[in-house]
Amino acid sequence: MLALLQLIIDGTILGCTYAVCAIGMVLIFKATDVVNIAQGELMMMAAFFAYTFQVMLGWPFFVSLVAAICSTILLSLVVERVVLRPLMKAPVWTSIMATVALMVILQAGARVTWGPEVYHLPPFFGSATIRLGGINLTALDMAILSISVIYMLLLYLFFKFTMTGKAMRAIQMDKEAASFMGISVRRAFSYVWALNGILMGTVGILLAPRLGVHSTMGLLMLKGFVVAVIGGFTSFAGSVIGGILLGVIETLAGVYISSAMKDIVSFVILILVLIVRPTGLFAESMTKRV
Partner 1 sequence: MNVKTRLGLLILLLILLAVPFLGGNYMIYIASLMIVVSIAALGLDILTGYAGQICFGQAGFIAVGAYCSAFLMKAGVPFWLSVPGGGVAAGLSGLIIGLPALRIRGHYLALATLSFAYIIHLILVHWESVTGGPRGLVVSRPTWPSFFSQDKYYYLVILFVAIILFVVARNIVRSRYGRAFLALQKDEIISRAMGINLTIYKTIAFVISSFYAGIAGGLYGPLLGFLDPLSFSIMDSAFYIMIIVIGGRGTLYGSIVGAAVYVFIPELLRRAEFFQELFFGVIFLCFLILMPDGVVGFLRRHQSSLFGWISRTGLLTPVERKGGVEDGARFLKTAPILTALSSPSLARGTGNELLQVKNLSIRFGGLMALSDVSFHVDTGEIFSLIGPNGAGKTSTLNAITRLYEPSGGTISFNGEELLKLRADQIVQKGIGRTFQSVGILGGLTALENVMVGFHASHRGSGFLQTALGARSARNDEAWRREHALEMLKLVNVEQHASDLATDLPFGQQKLVGLARALACNPRLLILDEPASGLSPMEIEHLTSLIRSLCRQSGLTILLVEHDMNVVMGISDRIAVLDFGRRIAEGNPDEIRSNPLVVKAYLGEEETA
Q: Does 217 bind partner 1 (CB under 8 A)?
A: no
60 vs 86, which CB is nearer to partner 1?
86
64 vs 95, which CB is nearer to partner 1?
95
Question: Which residues 54-113 are close enough to bind partner 1 by CB under 8 A?
Answer: 83, 86-87, 90, 92-94, 96-98, 100-105, 107-109, 111-112
Nearest distance in Å: CB 145, partner 1: 27
52 vs 107, which CB is nearer to partner 1?
107
Q: How many residues bind partner 1 (CB under 8 A)?
A: 45
Question: Which residues 102-161 are close enough to bind partner 1 by CB under 8 A?
Answer: 102-105, 107-109, 111-112
Of 2, 20, 27, the residue nearest 136 (C-alpha): 2
Residue type, 141: D
- Residue 213: beta bridge partners? 119
Taking 3-state DSSP, the helix, strand and coil percentages for the chain, each rounded to the nearest 5, stand at 75, 5, 20
Which member of 49, 189, 233, 236 binds partner 1 (CB under 8 A)? Answer: 233
SS3 289: coil
122 vs 284, which CB is nearer to partner 1?
284
Of 228, 267, 229, 219, the residue nearest 41 (C-alpha): 219
Do the beta carbons of residue 233 and residue 283 sit within 8 Å? yes
Which letter, b or e, does each residue of 54-86 get, where b requires 16 or more Cβ atoms within 10 Å of its Cβ?
beeeebeeeebbebbbebbbebbeebbeebbee
Q: Does 274 bind partner 1 (CB under 8 A)?
A: yes
Q: H helices within 115-184, ranges in order?
A: 139-161, 163-173, 175-180
**Residues 6 or more apart in contact with residue 230 via CB below 8 angstroms:** 238, 242, 245, 246, 269, 270, 273, 280, 281, 282
Binding segment for partner 1 among 49-57, 201-209, 225-233, 237-245 (CB under 8 A)?
225-233
Q: Does 4 bind partner 1 (CB under 8 A)?
A: no
User: Which parts of this chain interact with partner 1 (CB under 8 A)?
Assistant: 29, 35, 37, 83, 86-87, 90, 92-94, 96-98, 100-105, 107-109, 111-112, 219, 222, 225-226, 228-229, 233, 260, 263-264, 267-268, 270-271, 274-275, 278-279, 287, 289-290
